[in-house]
């Protein structure tokens, strides 16, 4: 039974991934060697000053900033990845979906009734499989956040943290001279919409990708990086080592500052000891043996396991008796994410990832997964604002998407598009329908009214029955349709959202679950990131327990959230007691 | 009587002796062009003139002359002139090319149709798909090699062979130039025969 459920989950995960093609994985080249960051599990101590749970944006920043002068351990559930080890084909990609059989999988895809959530798992967290877009949200988005955060943004303090993050991530921008056709096509259709009266402008996106800065040279943290080859495989794991993932910047800094970094340790729940310290209960999965449960004690615990991970740990801890806010699990947001396709346009978009193998005849650069957005964020009403970003399809998924899309798109009566579909059916070519398509990732604002609950196996699941009726869905679909039609393409929803495949949407930006707020009655963490203790009063916090990741967002952000999460972590690190 | 017949024969042969015989045809292509920082729907209507069919047959790099109109969204219509190499050898001996070089006062175009023996039944597509670079006049253009092998082309236009009216217009547009009446058929046959024999060399090189 468990096996069939597991198989079904993997199937749904695979289908969802096809639908979310812009969110996910490709070949081997001369990738610079890297030193490992992690220690053997046997070196894990019994007691620490600080334990950071998770090595994504929040965790990596906190570890880098807090390690000096403290005994600090980072516990990461996934494994440490070296660039050449990322999946290179469909089979190896599907084999990297986390499940009970593959707990160290790179892709944590949680299929839900109305919403699937995709995040990364491994040293570096979701930075391993995201598109590394570094973009600041509109400042007035924070008008619905606690006052201290509003003031931090209004005063310019957050600008300083954001700039610090941009520097650490060595953010760079693709230009027109990079000759990326999907970028050009999206810029073109955006300008067309502008001329048609839409309040939109093309916006080049800042990317944490080593586009040209370190051509096989050490970066600021001494990690030798190759320059981007424009293969388009950012989201299946950069096999070139050109992505500025957290394992080439913040985490090496953390290690240099004394942090001990451990992979393969999945934290299950937390317990408050009578002396005020925290006992972290974990399940370790050593490479050379069976999984084993254990504990580690720490004065401070920083939860940075992501919206699902951190909320899951706190929900389990609550079930074990830890007093926590009734708001735990609430304010879950998909960040207004919507995936769509502009299928089979007249323009060759070169969106097919090429991996590290030989390029197809007629194929030029694909480029980083995401490079440009149609920016619709000038509306005075926050909820009506959104971005439509273009995306590439990573090479391991190209064949599957090539064959699946005609089924999702249906007939296109004219000769030229039909001929392109026929070409796709006959083989992998650059002049087929898929390579004349666009993947759109819409990011807008939802009501953040989803809820995270534990399922019967103790895993966090999303409950959000009315998600499809949220206004952002129709708004984004309508605008994506206009982009697709500009050059005779056909708008196609993510196949996963079709009733045939379960009718669920997909988010790659899960937020909330441990919302930040002014009081423990309606928020899980304080504006400083400390966990409220409702048993001790409205404003009382659990000494030494912190949350520092996307789970603390009380609302959608309306932009790729990594910069916001990292900047808030920089702020929290400065507020951390000496 | 003999003198009269001889004079008549000379008169009839004079055009052959005095003028090069040629052929012209018109061609329209439609697609998109990357120009001025945007993709634009693009259309070209060309009249191609092979002034000397024998020179072309003797030298596959011989250029035909081209004139016509270039139309792009958001750009005033452009009268263009230029050259067309019809089935000249591709660099690297990889098939044959139809290489278009077009110029107007504001725009220049380098476009290539590459007829080569790659996998798939795509001879017609090779003959009718133009991969091109559109640029403002005076700006450096890439080489034909780069367009062919480095995929630096940014624009694509098609002779829409699947549309009967387009094929009809193309077929009926053929006319001879400076050709004696008795050579009309010969010139047309030579044109078609040269096209097909060249294609045969590409696809059946062992024959």
- pLDDT digits 0-9 by tens, B88-123: 998 887 899 999 999 999 999 999 999 988 766 788
Which B positions 137-156 lie with beta carbon below 8 A of chain A? 150-152, 154, 156
A27 pLDDT band (50/70/90 cuts)?
very low
Report the candidate in A110, A80, A131, A125 with the shortest Cα–Cα distance to residue A17. A110
Global pTM value: 0.91
Q: Over pLDDT 70: what percentage of chain A?
A: 95
Per CB-CB distance under 8 Å, the chain B contacts of A176 are 37
Q: What is the pLDDT of residue A16?
A: 53
Say whether B37 and A487 touch across the interface (CB within 8 A).
no
- Say yes or no: B164 contacts chain A, CB-CB below 8 A: no
Contact call for A184 and B158, based on CB within 8 A: no
Alpha helices in A438-522 (DSSP H): 471-485
Question: Is A231 in contact with A354 (CB distance < 8 Å)?
Answer: yes
CA B140 to chain centre: 23
Look at residue B19 and tell me whether its pLDDT is greater than 70. Answer: no
Distance from CA of B39 to the nearest CA of A (A): 6
Q: Give me B18's structure tokens.
A: 């005095």
| Chain segment A329-351, per-residue pLDDT in tens | 999 999 999 999 999 999 999 99
- Residues contacting B30, CB < 8 A, separation 6+: B41, B42, B43, B157, B158, B160
Q: Which residue of A has its CA nearest to B33?
A: A347
Contacts with B158 from chain A: Cβ below 8 Å? 416
The answer, yes or no, to whether residue A474 has pLDDT greater than 50, is yes
Closest-CA distance, B109 to chain A, in angstroms, reads 18
Query: Percent of chain A scored above 90 by pLDDT?
Result: 87
- The mean per-residue pLDDT over the stretch A421-435 comes to 92
**Residue B18 falls within a domain, yes or no?**
no
Mean pLDDT of B164-180: 94
Residue B172: give the domain boundaries.
Answer: 29-203
Tell me if B45 is assigned to some domain.
yes
Please answer yes or no on whether A416 and B38 come within 8 Å at the CB atom.
Answer: no
Select from A347, A363, A419 the Cβ nearest to the Cβ of B151: A363
B12 belongs to a structural domain: no
> Does the pLDDT value for residue A18 go beyond 90?
no
What confidence category does residue B12 fall into, taking pLDDT thresholds of 50, 70 and 90?
low
Chain A closest-CA separation from residue B151 CA (Å): 5
CA–CA separation, A567 vs A425, rounded Å? 46
Span of A455-459, A497-501, A557-561 with lowest mean pLDDT = A497-501
pLDDT at B17: 53
Average pLDDT, chain A: 93
Taking residues A359-385, report their average pLDDT: 91
How much is the average pLDDT of A67-92? 96
Query: Which residues, in sequence order, are bridge partners of residue A243?
Result: A209
Selected residue of B40, B95, B130, B151 to mutate for chain A interface (largest A Cβ count, 10 A):
B151
**The complex's ipTM?**
0.88
What SS3 class is residue A19? helix
Is residue B15 domain-resident?
A: no
At B10, the pLDDT band (50, 70, 90 cuts) reads low
Residue B2 included in any domain: no
Which candidate in B30, B34, B35, B39 is best for mutational testing of the A interface (most A CBs within 10 A)? Answer: B39
Is the CB of residue B158 less than 8 Å away from at least one CB of chain A? yes
Closest residue in B to A360 (Cα–Cα): B151
* Cβ contact A347–B152 (<8 Å): no
B116 in reach of chain A (CB within 8 A) = no
Q: Is A286 helix (H, G, I), strand (E, B) or coil?
A: coil
Tally of structural domains, chain B: 1
Residue B134 has pLDDT above 60, yes or no: yes
CB contact under 8 A, B150 and A347: no
Residue B129 lies in a domain: yes
- Mapped onto helix, strand or coil, the DSSP state of residue A446 is coil
Which residues face A265 on adjacent strands? A284
Tens-place pLDDT, residues B33-76: 999 999 999 999 999 999 999 999 999 899 999 999 999 999 99
Interface test with B, best of A192, A194, A359 (most B CBs within 10 A): A192
Considering the domain boundaries, does residue B3 fall inside one? no
Residue of B nearest to A365 (CA): B151
Burial of A540 (0-12, 13-18, 19+ CB in 10 A): middle
Within a domain: residue B6? no
**Cross-chain residue pair B158–A416, CB shorter than 8 Å:** yes
Q: Mark yes or no for CB contact B152/A426 under 8 Å.
A: no
B118 contact residues in A (CB cutoff 8 A): 361
Rounded to a whole number of angstroms, the distance from the CA of A229 to the nearest CA of chain B is: 15
Q: What is the pLDDT of residue A459?
A: 95
């Amino acid at each position: 039974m468990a096996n069939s459920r597991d198989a079904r989950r993997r199937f749904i995960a695979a289908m969802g991934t096809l639908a979310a093609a812009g969110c996910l994985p490709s070949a081997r080249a001369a990738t610079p060697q890297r030193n490992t960051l992690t220690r053997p599990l046997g070196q894990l101590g019994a007691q620490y000053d600080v334990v950071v749970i998770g090595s994504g944006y929040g965790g990596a920043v906190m570890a880098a900033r807090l390690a000096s002068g403290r005994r600090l351990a980072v516990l990461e559930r996934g494994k440490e990845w070296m660039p050449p080890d990322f999946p290179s084909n469909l089979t190896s990609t599907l084999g990297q979906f986390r499940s009970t059989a593959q707990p160290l999988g790179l892709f944590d895809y949680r299929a839900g009734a109305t919403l699937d959530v995709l995040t990364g798992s491994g040293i570096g967290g979701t930075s391993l499989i995201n598109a590394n877009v570094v973009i600041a949200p509109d400042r007035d988005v924070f008008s619905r956040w606690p006052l201290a955060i509003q003031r931090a943004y209004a005063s310019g303090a957050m600008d300083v943290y954001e700039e610090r993050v941009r520097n650490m991530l060595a953010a760079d921008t693709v230009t027109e001279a990079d000759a990326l056709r999907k970028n050009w096509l999206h810029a073109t259709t955006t300008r067309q919409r502008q001329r048609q009266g839409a309040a939109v402008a093309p916006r080049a996106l800042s990317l944490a990708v080593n586009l040209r800065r370190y051509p096989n040279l050490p970066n600021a943290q001494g990690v030798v990086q190759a320059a981007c080859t424009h293969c388009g495989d950012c989201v299946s794991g950069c096999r070139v080592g050109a992505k500025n993932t957290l394992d080439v910047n913040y985490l090496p800094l953390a290690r240099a500052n004394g942090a001990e970094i451990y992979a393969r340790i999945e934290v299950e729940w937390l317990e408050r000891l009578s002396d005020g310290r925290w006992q972290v209960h974990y399940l370790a999965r050593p490479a050379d043996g069976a999984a084993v449960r254990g504990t580690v004690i720490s004065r401070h615990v920083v939860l940075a396991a992501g919206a699902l991970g951190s909320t899951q740990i706190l929900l389990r801890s609550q079930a074990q008796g830890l007093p926590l806010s009734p708001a735990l699990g609430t304010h879950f947001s998909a960040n207004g994410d919507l995936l769509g396709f502009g299928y089979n346009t007249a323009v060759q978009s070169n969106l097919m990832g090429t991996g590290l193998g030989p390029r197809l005849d007629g194929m030029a650069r694909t480029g980083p997964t995401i490079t440009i957005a149609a920016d619709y964020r000038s509306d005075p009403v926050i909820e009506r604002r959104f971005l439509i970003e273009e995306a590439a399809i990573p090479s391991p998924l190209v064949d599957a998407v090539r064959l699946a899309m005609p089924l999702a798109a249906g007939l296109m009566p004219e000769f030229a598009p039909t001929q392109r579909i026929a070409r796709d059916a006959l083989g992998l070519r650059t002049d087929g329908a898929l390579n004349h398509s666009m993947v759109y990732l819409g990011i807008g604002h939802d009501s953040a009214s989803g809820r995270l609950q534990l399922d019967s196996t103790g895993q966090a699941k999303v409950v959000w029955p009315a998600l499809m009726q949220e206004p952002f869905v129709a708004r984004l679909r309508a605008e994506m349709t206009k982009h697709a039609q500009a050059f005779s393409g056909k708008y196609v929803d993510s196949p996963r959202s079709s009733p045939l495949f379960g009718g669920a949407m997909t988010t790659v930006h899960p937020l909330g679950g441990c919302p930040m707020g002014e009081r423990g009655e309606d928020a899980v963490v304080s504006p400083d990131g400390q966990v409220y203790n409702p048993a001790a009063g409205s404003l009382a916090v659990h000494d030494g327990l912190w949350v520092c990741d996307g789970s603390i967002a009380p609302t959608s952000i309306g932009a790729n959230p990594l910069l916001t999460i990292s900047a808030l972590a920089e702020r929290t690190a400065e507020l951390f007691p000496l | 009587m003999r003198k009269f017949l001889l004079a008549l024969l000379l008169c009839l042969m004079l055009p052959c002796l005095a003028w090069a015989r040629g052929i012209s045809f018109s061609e329209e292509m439609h697609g998109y062009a990357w120009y001025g920082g945007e993709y634009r729907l693009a259309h070209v209507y060309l009249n191609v003139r092979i002034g000397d069919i024998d020179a072309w047959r003797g030298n596959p790099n011989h250029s035909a002359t081209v004139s016509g109109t270039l139309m792009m969204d958001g750009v005033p219509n452009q009268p263009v002139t230029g050259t067309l190499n019809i089935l000249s050898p591709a660099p690297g001996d990889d098939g044959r090319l139809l290489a278009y070089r077009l110029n107007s006062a504001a725009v220049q175009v380098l476009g290539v149709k590459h007829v080569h023996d790659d996998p798939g039944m795509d001879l017609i597509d090779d003959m009718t798909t133009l991969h091109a670079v559109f640029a403002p006049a005076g700006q450096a253009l890439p080489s034909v090699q780069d367009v062919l092998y480095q995929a630096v082309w940014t624009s694509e236009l098609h002779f829409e062979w699947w549309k009967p009216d387009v094929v009809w217009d193309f077929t009926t547009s053929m006319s001879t130039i400076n050709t004696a009446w008795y050579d009309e058929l010969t010139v047309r046959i030579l044109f078609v025969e040269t096209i097909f024999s060249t294609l045969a060399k590409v696809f059946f090189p062992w024959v």
